[in-house]
């Protein structure tokens, strides 16, 4: 179970600097949420979009990709470019305060923030971390200082960078940001009821960091990490079952015929076919674009596939039901719970079939990869078998000879990324890795 520390406070309280120092001493990951909002503000200002125009800012979000990387110190990347220094000006600070009041901006960043917190021991700083982003954080701290002291610190920082801003301008900016942050309708700045107040007005950076580390240590000393709760026992498949040569010959012939037909009706291309395992008992995790996705994936697999299909499809006419069963589909009923689905999936893998799973759970209409569900990670973790990420890309709007690219990625083994059990933290880690690989395969076309 990861340890989450929520560090909130007003602008200029030294949250970022203190959080970095405390995280380094404790071996935690530091997450600067303020930098994320600054990055969005920087982008819209650079593009000539008004930060006071919520609709225009919302429309720009689809063009923004933010990454936090630890390269000695935390670096912020916007669409591949390092903007760590460019986002630290008073103009961007004020812009960040305004865009952070837009609900869609907060929702855009919330998923990224929660994913980082779920799989790491982190210190995350911001203005609503303990109240909104991580309301269940084990440790909550509200770090503050007088407006005059905060303005003095920021003024010195800007002078060192050659910024021409005056002390009066910086103080006015601090006071305006305090007003904006505490009066906004969405997630206003306030101290969480269970947060520890730390006033750094009379403390040095070193003293403040020591106080923060002391609070964290005392709060977590009584909450030693418990043994992770396993959702299901691990049952590594043996891969001892082999398909009969006769069945494989029939399957190969059928695959060749279907492949030929698909080359007639589609401008279809396959990449990374060398990554497709020659045996069975593997999980193929793919984005979901059409009902034909299982067929697209199967065209370069040497062992038959099984895949989940909603129970309603098995209530059609006998011919259709028999056809999808013949091609490996098995019903999934939401009412039966995950256990029945997992048992059936492991049974298919143990019998030597490959298994196709679409983690998104529904088809994407615009081609973008949506958030994945944990089921794929649970099946792979229980079976401790290879996961082959797959990206399916449709191009153009033609109905006949539409271009389709099926891209097979490098297989993943749960154990290779430190997942040997089925506790929630491990499953989250595995799911995120799988979705990252699928997204990379799909977005290669965009890049």
Q: What is the pLDDT of residues 49-86, one digit of tens each?
A: 999 999 999 999 989 998 877 665 678 889 989 999 99
pTM of the entire predicted model: 0.51
Q: What is the pLDDT of residue 390?
A: 95
The mean pLDDT of 307-319, rounded to a whole number, is 76
DSSP string, 392-425: EEEESS-SSSEEEEEEE---B-GGGGT--S--HH
Q: What is the pLDDT of residue 382?
A: 92
Going by pLDDT thresholds of 50, 70 and 90, the confidence category of residue 333 is: low
Per the document, the length of the chain is: 447
Tell me the CATH number of domain 245-443, given options 3.40.1130.10, 3.40.50.10090, 3.40.50.300, 3.30.70.890: 3.40.1130.10
End-to-end CA distance of the chain: 36
Maximum Cα–Cα distance across the chain: 84
Going by pLDDT thresholds of 50, 70 and 90, the confidence category of residue 132 is: confident
Domains 4-221 and 245-443 share a fold: no
Q: Mean pLDDT in the chain?
A: 87
Going by pLDDT thresholds of 50, 70 and 90, the confidence category of residue 362 is: confident
Going by pLDDT thresholds of 50, 70 and 90, the confidence category of residue 335 is: very low
Task: Name the residue among 263, 282, 416, 253 with its Cα closest to residue 356.
Answer: 282
- E strand or H helix that includes residue 118: helix 103-118
Res 313 pLDDT > 80 = no
Mention every residue, 6+ apart, whose C-beta is less than 8 A from residue 321: 313, 314, 315
Task: Specify the CATH number of the domain 4-221.
Answer: 3.40.50.300
- Alpha carbon distance 191, 216 (integer Å): 17
Res 163 pLDDT > 60 = yes
Domain ranges of the chain: 4-221, 245-443
> Is the Cβ–Cβ distance between 277 and 351 less than 8 Å?
no
CA dihedral 236, 239, 241, 244 (to 10 degrees): 150
Q: Highest mean pLDDT: which of 89-93, 156-160, 410-414? A: 410-414
Res 100 pLDDT > 70 = yes
Going by pLDDT thresholds of 50, 70 and 90, the confidence category of residue 336 is: very low
% of the chain exceeding 70 in pLDDT: 95
Q: What is the pLDDT of residues 280-289, one digit of tens each?
A: 899 999 999 9
Q: What is the pLDDT of residue 411?
A: 95
Res 25 pLDDT > 50 = yes
% of the chain exceeding 90 in pLDDT: 45
**Triad 428, 434, 440: Cα angle to 5°:** 130
């Amino acid at each position: 179970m990861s340890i989450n520390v929520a560090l909130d406070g007003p602008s200029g309280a030294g949250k970022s600097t203190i959080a970095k120092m405390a995280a380094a001493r404790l071996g935690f990951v530091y997450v600067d949420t303020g930098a994320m909002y600054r990055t969005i503000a920087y982008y819209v200002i650079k593009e000539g979009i008004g930060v006071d125009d919520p609709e225009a800012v919302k429309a720009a979000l689809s063009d923004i990709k933010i990454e936090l990387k630890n390269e000695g110190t935390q670096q912020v990347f916007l669409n591949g470019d390092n903007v760590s220094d460019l986002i630290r000006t008073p103009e961007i600070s004020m812009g960040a305060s305004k865009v952070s009041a837009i609900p869609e901006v907060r929702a855009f960043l919330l998923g990224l923030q929660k994913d980082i917190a779920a799989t790491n021991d982190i210190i995350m700083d911001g203005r609503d971390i303990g109240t909104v982003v991580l309301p269940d954080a084990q440790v909550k701290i509200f770090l503050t200082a007088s407006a005059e002291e905060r303005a003095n610190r920021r003024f010195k920082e800007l002078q060192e960078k050659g910024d021409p801003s005056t002390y009066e301008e910086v103080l006015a900016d601090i006071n305006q940001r305090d007003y904006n942050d505490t009066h906004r309708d969405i997630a206003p700045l306030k101290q969480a009821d269970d947060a520890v107040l730390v006033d750094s007005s009379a403390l040095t950076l070193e003293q403040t960091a020591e106080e923060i580390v002391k609070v964290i240590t005392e709060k977590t000393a009584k909450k030693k990490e418990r043994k992770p709760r396993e959702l299901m026992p691990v049952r590594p498949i043996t891969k001892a079952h082999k398909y009969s040569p006769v069945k494989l010959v029939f399957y190969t012939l059928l695959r060749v015929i279907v492949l030929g037909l698909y080359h007639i009706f589609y401008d279809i291309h396959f990449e990374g076919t060398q990554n497709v395992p020659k045996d069975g008992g593997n999980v193929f995790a793919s984005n979901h674009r059409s009902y034909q996705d299982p067929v697209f994936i199967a065209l370069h697999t040497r062992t038959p596939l099984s895949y989940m299909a909603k129970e309603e499809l098995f209530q059609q006419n006998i011919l259709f039901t028999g056809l999808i069963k013949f091609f490996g589909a098995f019903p999934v009923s939401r009412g039966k719970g995950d256990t029945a689905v997992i048992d059936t999936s492991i049974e298919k893998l143990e019998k030597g079939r490959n298994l196709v799973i679409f983690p998104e759970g529904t088809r994407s209409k615009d081609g973008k990869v949506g958030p994945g569900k944990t089921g794929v990670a649970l099946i792979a973790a229980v079976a401790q078998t290879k996961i082959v990420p797959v990206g399916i890309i449709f191009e153009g709007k033609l109905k006949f000879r539409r271009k389709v690219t099926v891209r097979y990625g490098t297989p993943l083994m749960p154990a290779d990324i430190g997942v040997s059990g089925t506790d929630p933290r491990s499953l989250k880690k595995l799911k995120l890795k799988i979705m990252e690989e699928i997204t990379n395969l799909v977005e290669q076309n965009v890049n």
